[in-house]
Structure 1
Amino acid sequence: MATNKVKQIHSFGQSIWLDFIDRAIIASGNLKKLIDEDGVRGVTSNPAIFEKAITSSSDYDADIRKLADSDKTNEEIFFGLAISDIKQATDIFKGLYEESKGGDGYVSLEVSPFLALDDEGTTKQAEELWKAVDRKNVMIKIPGTKPGLSAIRKSIAKGININVTLLFGLPRYKEVTEAYISGLEDHLAAGHSIGHISSVASFFLSRIDVLVDPILDEKGLGDLKGEVAIASAKKAYEIYKQAFSGPRWEKLAAHGAQPQRLLWASTSSKNPAFKDTKYVEALIGPNTVDTAPLETIEAFRDHGVAANTLEQDLDKSTEILNKLKTAGIDIDKLTQQLEDEGIEKFNKPFEKLLQAIEDQKSKV
């Protein structure tokens, strides 16, 4: 029997997480099946995923109606529903979490997207969600915005596992590694152990190419279409290797600190001209995570090619980014635009979700 192609990825040191959650996948046993058969090692969620889960099924209706009699706000009702799902998922991954000694088995829950530019609000809610889920293998997602950097550091300093989300640009990613390392130093200086703290930095891929590719055509660089996101990710991995080496990091590692792994997000191909497993195949390498929607995992299981690709053609990646600069394409400005749009892309489904809860309450 042929080895499962998704499972093969793990042999190169990369963990595949599922970018999806709902009550049906938990209750049906399909999540457990993905762990057993495909070697899926974690789950990520976001406001858009929960909006789809709650509005496209009746699985949550009874709980919403039950909570409608309380004095909870619609946002509090949502987090009540989400925390219930996250708890169930973390329990399914508990065995993997323990077996990997905290290396994998994490389930991510995001703070309200309305707090993306609110340092204090994010820090407060991150701690509230961490305590509410009350599982060692949960990660709280905080957007890697400028205000988010302070919230990330403060949350790590409290011993909270953090998934930094919405990363597009290299300068911001570098700041995120600094926030993580500083947070570990703060926690250690306060007299706490740091070996149990886990974090990932979620670098978004396909959205970069969706924005940049039309500009490449205008500048006569059409041959680079579909390559800029991958080139950026490979350069991010270089930053990762630099950040988590040297005397400063070694001091923390001596106390059991774990590097903040890069996580590849937005890995489904948005351009039908590209292979549907393109972004997964291009960035397989050690000490990384790839979170993918179910369709992408199924596609890779069917026809994906697992190989150690992450550190291949690094010179080419440098060359691609240099060509953008020469052509007058400001990639840092574009990635900031993507960050701003990313916040809006999570705000809209969250607003829709809160309205759906309101509508359901009115049926009581």
Structure 2
Amino acid sequence: MAGAQRLGRALDRPNAMIKVPATAAGLPAIRDLVAAGINVNVTLIFGLSRYREVVEMFLQGLEHRARQGLPVGGVASVASFFISRIDTLVDARLDAMGTPAARALRGRAAIASARLAYQCFKEWTAGERWQRLAAQGASAQRLLWASTSTKDPAYDALLYVEELAGPSTVNTLPRATLEAYRQGGRPEVRIEHDLPAAQGCVSELAALGIDLEQAAVQLEREGVQKFVEPFERLIALLGEPPR
């Protein structure tokens, strides 16, 4: 928390965000940073339960500012929901089953999760609690689709771009995906297409023994480790004497 505050104040730029993982330990830091007026990119979100907790911390942070008589406008935040890693994990489990029912669900889990997360976004931004903050100038925490390049060569390169296009969302595209979209993209709002199918996908996966919330816990743990290892290498490198 102290390090994030120090970085935020040192940068002192309205377009800079401090990245905080959406872990159990990171949740209070999200609330406190928002309360301090520091922009936050909440990263490593893989499931709906954790996303709801992130939203709660964001709201609590803004409400704290409002109670203190501080402005709630100008505090920006995004909730980074990781996409392709969900399908990578779930598809591997489906492939191991090898049944027709399992194969029919390949490549559907990530988009289903994202569409349901977007419905959560619409619900909380329509609620009275948020409307009170919005009336004071607050900006909503937008959903950011991260890890949106397809990892399976059988999938269209734009799968996670076109299917998740929608208002009040952000998509961080790798350069190759961006170029592919520039050449052959079909702009259209699709994030709310066939919502019953999204919920049905979750139910069908559960019937096969795949719980997306449990998968999210595993992905979060793996994601944190992917952050820790490069950080530790960097710290070790900085500690080496000059050659």
Mapped to 2, the partners of 1:162 and 1:327 lie a distance apart of 37
Mapped to 1, the partners of 2:239 and 2:160 lie a distance apart of 38
The answer as to whether partners of 1:219 and 1:327 remain within 8 angstroms in 2 is no
Count of aligned residue pairs for this structure pair: 240
The answer as to whether partners of 1:206 and 1:267 remain within 8 angstroms in 2 is yes
Q: How does 1:49-64 map to 2 (within 5 A)?
A: none
Q: Equivalent residue for 1:6?
A: none
Deviation at 1:219, TM superposition (A): 6.3
User: Is the aligned partner of 1:204 residue 2:85?
Assistant: no
User: Is the aligned partner of 1:142 residue 2:20?
Assistant: yes
User: Is the aligned partner of 1:309 residue 2:190?
Assistant: yes
TM-score (norm 2): 0.95
User: Is the aligned partner of 1:327 residue 2:208?
Assistant: yes
Mapped to 2, the partners of 1:241 and 1:226 lie a distance apart of 24
Q: How does 1:187-336 map to 2 (within 5 A)?
A: 187-217=65-95, 218=97, 220=99, 221-336=102-217
Q: Secondary structure at the match of 1:191?
A: coil
User: Is the aligned partner of 1:362 residue 2:230?
Assistant: no
TM-score (norm 1): 0.64
Q: 2:223 aligns with which of 324, 342, 349?
A: 342
For 1:147, the aligned partner's letter is A
Q: Identity over the aligned pairs, expressed in percent?
A: 48
RMSD: 1.3
Determine which structure has greater relative contact order: mean sequence separation of CA pairs < 8 Å that are 6+ residues apart, divided by chain length.
1
Deviation at 1:126, TM superposition (A): 1.2
Deviation at 1:305, TM superposition (A): 2.2
Deviation at 1:356, TM superposition (A): 4.3
Mapped to 1, the partners of 2:141 and 2:229 lie a distance apart of 30
Moved more, 244-253 or 176-185: 244-253
From the CA coordinates, give the structure whose radius of gyration is larger. Answer: 1
Q: Secondary structure at the match of 1:305?
A: coil
